[in-house]
Amino acid sequence: MGRWEPNAEGRLAQAAMELFSEHGYEQTTVAEIAERAGLTERTFFRHYTDKREVLFAGSVHFRENFVVGVEQAPESSTALQAVTAAAKRAATALDERRGREFARARRAIIVANAELRERELIKLADVSVAMAQALRARGVDEPDASMTAELGMAAFRVAFDRWLAAGERRTLPELIDEALASVAPVVA
Amino acid sequence: MGRWEPNAEGRLAQAAMELFSEHGYEQTTVAEIAERAGLTERTFFRHYTDKREVLFAGSVHFRENFVVGVEQAPESSTALQAVTAAAKRAATALDERRGREFARARRAIIVANAELRERELIKLADVSVAMAQALRARGVDEPDASMTAELGMAAFRVAFDRWLAAGERRTLPELIDEALASVAPVVA
DNA sequence: CTCGTTATGACAGCAACTGACATCACCGTA
DNA sequence: TACGGTGATGTCAGTTGCTGTCATAACGAG
């Protein structure tokens, strides 16, 4: 079938996760990742634009879940209901795809490094921008669209952090509800 | 007075702003910035931890305005009122310190480059974390503290973008009010 | 004037990233 | 079956951000 060993991208991503977990992000060199994957440094940069990106391979899929979630919300839904449904859709997909333990391992790598935290923030900001656009397509005006999207992403961030905390048993959608529920009395 | 030419940091920051505006961020080399400031590349990295940081010199002062704003809000204020007051305090300080035109020039540099956008996002996230802590010190529980802080920062971001849009005449505090006002009906 | 402190310079070096070109494995086709 | 095309990979040289180390210059205190 394959000409060379198949799934070069996946091998690189797995090698990176392993090495980052073992020795930390900064202590791991791109050449080492490529070597473990049986490839060269140059080939790494053909699959990932930079060293950080190897940890964010699923971000496009992640964002699309939010966008589709907003788009597919019933016509009668309010903006916040649509964003909430979108966040839960993405949350469920995240859990089903790799699970809580994988998310925890990946999270440990990211929070330990400022560059990676920056990359994660811009990915989430991209999601917010995309959701705001989807809301405007539903007829929501600015600044409501942006504020609602930001509110949804904030809830997702807060819920996600709690979801990965030690001993937390609740599901991610439940925690999203909790985060959003705490906003109503605050604003009132 | 000064041993060498005074205010090396300020000279570096100004040289950087000029060069970034003239040729763009990526096309400008740290050696070029240092040369224009009459210093060497090595000295640049003694004053700024990396090339990006030269555009974020005032970020500590910026964050402290938010924190102090929350801390000094009247005892009777709600969490959201405290955060709103903090955002307006920071907004006013920002305007008085360098003005809208400077903010526009700096913004143009940042939005043109992904690395700089990432840096800006983590600075704002730091502010949110600091505000959440200030709120907890006021007795606000989680996840309310984090959500309220995030809400305030979202309002600031949205308002800030509008503030710098061409032809916008309203003040930044006014735009913050507008952004926050748009949330209440959404949540209700 | 001397000594200690502090900011800077000079230099070597690593690692991230890029461009240019060669090479290799496969596939379709004559 | 030989041939040529195509896409993924390898090789190599080069730039730049960033760091460690040591030397040097400017100032203040005594």
Mean pLDDT, all residues of chain A: 95
Tokens encoding A25: 């992000």
**Percentage of chain A modeled with pLDDT above 90:** 93
Answer whether A154 sits within 8 Å of B158, measured CB to CB. no
For residue B185, say if its preceding peptide bond is cis, omega within 30 degrees of 0: no
| A188 CB below 7 A from strand C atoms | no
| Chain B neighbors of A79, CB-CB under 8 A | 186
**Between A86 and A186, where is the model more confident?**
A86
- The reported pTM is 0.95
pLDDT in tens, A72-130: 999 999 999 999 999 999 999 999 999 999 999 999 999 999 999 999 999 999 999 99
CA angle B132, B138, B140 (to 5 degrees): 60
The one-letter amino acid at A16:
A
| Sites in chain B below the pLDDT cut of 50 | 1-2
- Confidence check: pLDDT of A4 > 80: no
pLDDT for A133: 98
Of A118, A148, A155, the CB nearest to B186: A148
Confidence (pLDDT) at B3:
63
Give the per-residue pLDDT at A2: 46
- pLDDT for residue A37 is more than 60: yes
Which pLDDT band holds residue A1 (cuts at 50, 70, 90)? very low
Q: What is the mean pLDDT of residues A35-39?
A: 96
For the stretch A28-32, contacts whose Cβ atoms lie closer than 8 Å and that sit 24 or more positions apart, written own/partner, are none
| pLDDT value, residue A188 | 72
Q: Percent helix, strand and coil across chain B, each rounded to 5?
A: 75, 0, 25
Give the largest Cα separation in chain B, rounded: 62
Q: How many CB pairs under 8 A join A and B?
A: 92
Q: Report pLDDT for A3.
A: 64
pLDDT on residue A6: 81
- Would you call A68 helix, strand, or coil by DSSP? helix
Q: What is the pLDDT of residue B156?
A: 98
Rounded Cα distance, B9 and B47, in Å: 6
Q: Is the CB of A114 under 7 A from strand C?
A: no
Asked whether residue A10, judged by its CB, lies under 7 Å from any atom of the DNA or RNA strand D, the reply is no
- How confident is the model at residue A118, as a pLDDT? 98
Interface of B to A at Cβ within 8 Å reads 78-80, 114, 117-119, 121-122, 125, 143-144, 146-148, 150-151, 154-155, 157-159, 162, 178-179, 182-184, 186-188
Least confident of A2-6, A107-111, A183-187: A2-6
Its sign, for the CA torsion A57, A58, A64, A70, is: negative
Task: Please compute the mean of the pLDDT values over residues A27-49 and round it to a whole number.
Answer: 97
What is the token pair recorded at B112? 């043109």
